[in-house]
Copies of this chain bind each other. A is one copy, B any other.
Amino acid sequence: MDEFDLIHSITPRTIHHSSVDVGIGDDAALYTAKHGVQEIVCVDTMVEDVHFKLHYSSPEDIGYKALAVNISDIAAMGGIPKFYLVSLAVPSKWTESEIKAMYEGMNELAKLYHMDLIGGDTVSTADKLVVTVTVIGEIEKGQACLRSLAKPNDIVFVTGEIGSSAAGLSLLLEETNPQNSSVETDYFIHRHKRPEPRVSVGRLCSIFKRAALNDVSDGLASELNEIAEASCVSIEIVESMLPIHSDLPKLHPNWKEWALFGGEDFELTGTVSNEEWEVLKQECAALHLPITKIGYVREKTKSKVILKTDQTSMILEKKGYNHFK
């Protein structure tokens, strides 16, 4: 593979943002930031056989997801994604057309958000594919949805449904083999391979005076613990209110583990004041964006995140349950 040919073939023909002054083709990219905004920047890496396997993910799937997880981080700040840069360490057995297919997967998603590919690096490796994507976005000054902004009496919510991505992964790894043929396993697999970042919900939250947001990458329990820690509050969620797909319990007795600790749903979870929750709920309904109230923010006590079930309350650690001592 010739790197110069590859660069030529992936260089976008059109640029969405006129603020891009120099894109691919020099030592670095140049752009002019808007006045009155803050720049947002994040980076995430996906590794073959750690985050995906080649026998079930196509190059397009890998590219799509590598960009999606970064857009999700921008969404979790309430921001607008603008630019991306791609760094690939590619095993020599990969063909040029497979590499281009990976860029195609990214481009599919980038077009939806009017994002521009402005740079990157492609190097060879002896072993596993490593895909690193950097995304730059922007947010109106002072409007970012930080983890530290939760306050007692806020409503806790989550978008979409949780646990479906973990279910999809379990199906892909053949750890789960549903007996019930009525379960649409493709749905769960799609949720794992092609998560949809919730940029619109992040944007709605950014307009509020104050909203705390996290994207569900490491699992709902982990994300809510991060908000609780950063905001010095406790969070109480109610098991029966958690939004799950109706087929999830049919797949495996451990479905609650998937919902609470599975991760990779790339939904948004967060908190807003009671009054603003009513506004957010209506706006989401108008835009057909699923969002569910799952609990409340409490004053800080010793226990950070609490799960209430019909019978009991448990402390929800980042990675598991803990019964009260």
Contacts and interface: CB of A to CB of B under 8 A. Distances in A.
Nearest to A33: B33
Interface stretch (A116-124, A179-187, A243-251): A116-124
A35 B38 contact: no
A27 B73 contact: yes
Contact of A130 (B29, B31, B89, B230): B89
Interface stretch (A47-55, A232-240, A299-307): A47-55
A24 to B, nearest CB: 11
A47 B129 CA distance: 11
Interface residues on A, range: 35 or more
A41 B85 contact: yes
Interface string A126-139: 11101010111101
A47 B119 contact: no
Nearest to A127: B127
B126 A50 contact: yes
A87 B45 contact: yes
A204 interface: no
Contact of A89 (B40, B45, B120): B45
Contacts of A136: 41
Given A33-B33, A123-B50, A42 B28 contact: yes
Contacts of A32: 38-39, 141
Given A49-B126, A134-B134, A30 B40 contact: yes
Contacts of A279: none
For this chain, the copies found in one complex come to 2
Nearest to A223: B27
A188 to B, nearest CB: 24
A22 interface: yes
Contact of A123 (B27, B39, B47, B120): B47
Contacts of A31: 38-39, 41
A108 to B, nearest CB: 21
A60 to B, nearest CB: 21
A49 B92 CA distance: 13
Nearest to A86: B43
6 contacts: A28-B137, A31-B41, A41-B119, A45-B87, A45-B89, A45-B130
